[in-house]
Structure 1
Amino acid sequence: MAGGTCYSLLLPSPTGIPARQSNTHSKIEMDQSPVAVATKWFEAYSAGNFEGMKSLATDDYTFEDPAFGKLEGERALSMYKMFTSTRDKTEAVWNVHEVKPSESDPQRAIVKFEAIYKFNGRPVTNQITSTILVIDGKVKEQVDAFDVPKWAEQSLGLLGWLFGGFTFLHNTIQKKANTSLDGFMSKHPL
């Protein structure tokens, strides 16, 4: 992107009112519903605010997606620290299209967003559905799903197009992603 990086966050208002006045106290109570917390989580992510994300996560936060597999605790948070600290290099833009409550679990929110960035110089547009588990106003678990063959084709070119649907490529992607995370964590501890 010429002239710098644009970060865009298009979020619907979860309640129309960000905070409500308590009937029993004069303090303002922040909405801790899964939709409100997931909205705050993605606002912090989109702004590159790792500390804001960290403050919204439980100590035992877990993340899972096809690229990294399952990450727990510091490792999961370090992935976001890596993403937010390298966003200028990757020209990352995250566009949230929808945040809604899960129909099957009142403690979860479903977030549909688009990640636009460069991977090894290749432009990638990834449509992601994220399921966020919120416990006591904090993000405990995040599971992201996306079309791996489509992502592999964009990020890896011909190799991804040919082998994007094969398990061996998924395993190779996870190994490389985790090796990259290990290297980042050794230089940038939480």
Structure 2
Amino acid sequence: MSAPDQIIAQFYRAFKALDGDAMAACYHDEITFTDPAFGTLQGDEAKNMWRMLCQSQLGKDFTVTYRDIQQTYEAGSAVWETHYLFSKTGRKVHNIVNANFELKDGLIYTHTDKFDLHRWATQTMGIKGYLLGWTSFFKRKLQQQTNAMLTAFERSQE
């Protein structure tokens, strides 16, 4: 692969090293990121999400692996997995994520992560997550909490 074709691999190498700034550098300034936990974030919010996550509890028994990177000059995809202890409950989590990308100017322009939110909720909260993790109420509540954490992080960086 030539250098512009390696941006997705570069992104995941930075994630593995918990280097949020290097991850953000892989994103276009007009990035749109979407996943079940945060919803849709744009621009600096998306970049700051990775900075926040890398500076948070991810270091506690956290590992990330990635595979199946496919990339052209316009688009790409990958599968990545994390293993970590969920800080609020101390429960073990193994999350499997399918990522899709659109590229622009050699950078990641759109990034969509998809994972089984119900499975994740069950792992993080046990029976409560099993019972509620599939509901739109749970998803909305989770996105409110994650976005409030992101806002607090961004304010602390000013």
TM-score (norm 1): 0.76
Residue 3 of structure 1 is matched in structure 2 by none
CA offsets 1:154-173 (integer angstroms, 9 cap, x no match):
01221110111111111111
CA distance in 1, matches of 2:131, 2:114: 21
* Unaligned runs of at least 5 residues, structure 1: 1-14, 20-30
Contact 2:99 2:111 in 1 (8 A): yes
CA distance in 2, matches of 1:72, 1:55: 14
Residue 160 of structure 1 is matched in structure 2 by 129
CA distance in 1, matches of 2:81, 2:33: 17
Residue 98 of structure 2 is matched in structure 1 by 129
Contact 2:132 2:138 in 1 (8 A): yes
What amino acid is the match of 1:186?
Answer: R
- Aligned mate of 2:146, from 177, 186, 190: 177
Alignment partner of 1:147 is 2:116:
yes
Shift of 1:183: 1.5
CA distance in 2, matches of 1:92, 1:82: 15
After superposition, residues 37-116 of structure 1 pair within 5 angstroms as 37-86=7-56, 87-88=58-59, 90-101=60-71, 107-116=74-83
Residue 4 of structure 2 is matched in structure 1 by 32
Shift of 1:138: 0.7
Q: Which has the larger radius of gyration?
A: 1
CA distance in 1, matches of 2:76, 2:122: 29
TM-score (norm 2): 0.91
SS in 1 for 2:148: helix
What amino acid is the match of 2:27?
Answer: A
| Cα root mean square deviation, aligned | 1.5
CA distance in 2, matches of 1:54, 1:168: 30
* Unaligned runs of at least 5 residues, structure 2: none
SS in 1 for 2:4: coil
